[in-house]
């Protein structure tokens, strides 16, 4: 006689796997200095209510500018 796993165990496992993948992605982004737009949006909402957040494009452009500003010689 075999016992059946509790109902919904596959759904809970899937949720845990997605959460672990999200945590791994966030860690990867932090390690390599790639900005996390979703984390930025959460920060703006929590600490700067009423302020309009940057668009994803503007956020990325600002992060690239910040990362490479003053890094190495400029050609012009």
In a domain, 61, yes or no: yes
Q: pLDDT tens, position by position, for the chain (76 residues)?
A: 677 777 788 889 999 999 999 899 888 888 887 788 888 999 999 999 999 999 999 998 998 888 788 656 655 5
Answer yes or no: are the C-beta atoms of 66 and 76 closer than 8 Å: no
Q: What is the pLDDT of residue 59?
A: 92
Rg (CA), the chain: 20
In a domain, 47, yes or no: yes
In a domain, 75, yes or no: no
Q: What is the pLDDT of residue 36?
A: 84
What's the whole-model pTM score? 0.56
Q: How many independent structural domains does the chain possess? A: 1
Domain hosting 33: range is 9-68
Q: What is the pLDDT of residue 71?
A: 59
For 12, counting Cβ atoms within 10 Å of its Cβ (0-12 exposed, 13-18 middle, 19+ buried), the class is exposed
């Amino acid at each position: 006689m075999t016992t059946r796993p509790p109902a919904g165990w596959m759904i809970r496992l899937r949720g845990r796997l997605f959460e672990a993948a999200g945590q791994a992605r966030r860690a990867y982004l932090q390690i390599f200095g790639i900005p996390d737009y979703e984390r930025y949006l959460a920060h703006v909402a929590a600490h700067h209510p009423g302020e309009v957040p940057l668009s994803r494009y503007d956020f990325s452009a600002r992060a690239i500018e910040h990362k490479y500003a003053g890094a190495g010689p400029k050609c012009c």
